[in-house]
Amino acid sequence: MPARGFFVAGTDTHIGKTLVAAALLHAYAGLGHRVLGMKPVAAGAEWIDGAWVNEDVAMLRAASNVPAAPELLNPYLFREAIAPHIAADHKGARIEIPRIRAAYDELAARADVVLVEGVGGLLVPLSARKDAADLAVALGLPLILVVGMRLGCINHALLTAEAIAARGLKLAGWVANRVDPAMAAYDENLAALSHRLPTPLLAELPYMASPDPLRAAHFLSPQKLTAIL
């Protein structure tokens, strides 16, 4: 059976895409699947033990249960924590979607489930003409939308859902991640999103001062995860 994959998109940057992607990997591994996490483009790295390391890529690798070469898990790594197309320009590089597709195909040949984490929000540019949504289209993957639960999240989530539909992409499900523990009218916001987003709510994650993918995985319903595969 060919691997199933999902593209994990977010309503913004710093709203928990990596946490959710890693939690999904743990959850699917717990259901007996071979899983791999991929971060095609990462911006921001530290020099650790003789190599440049991006913490998001490291978290996804730790949650995967199938070995794979670093250049497959993360084809493009930039040191600067800035918009990826700008980081690429600074480095004199170009983000090529066919290269990412080739890496994804190699990972998909080794695993049952591949989680591909986007970079920033869905329409973040990757080059002068392409953005993260174009990458999702090229990979042909359904999306899981991570909504950072904070003031403004309804507008951000609905705009992202419209962009997903406009590109002809499928929204398989969404995750509510409480990034602001003091968010006012949290329950009402969650209800509004549940009513308006045309896809299942896969999990509601509580605020975590330190992101813990294993803990987050416990909030994901095995029945819902199986249903969307």
Cite the active site residues. 39
Closest CA to 79 of 45, 105, 30, 120: 45
| CA distance linking residue 20 with residue 47, whole number of Å | 25
Rg (CA), the chain: 16
> What are the CA-CA distances from residue 153 to residues 12, 47, 83, 204 (Å)?
9, 34, 21, 14
Pair 62, 22: CB distance under 8 Å:
yes
Compute φ and ψ for 43, nearest 5 degrees.
-120, 120
CB 60 within 8 A of CB 35: no
C-alpha closest to that of 170 among 150, 191, 199, 195: 199
Q: Quick one: DSSP state of residue 2?
A: P
Angle of helix 186-196 relative to helix 153-166, nearest 10 degrees, comes to 20
d(CA 115, CA 14): 18
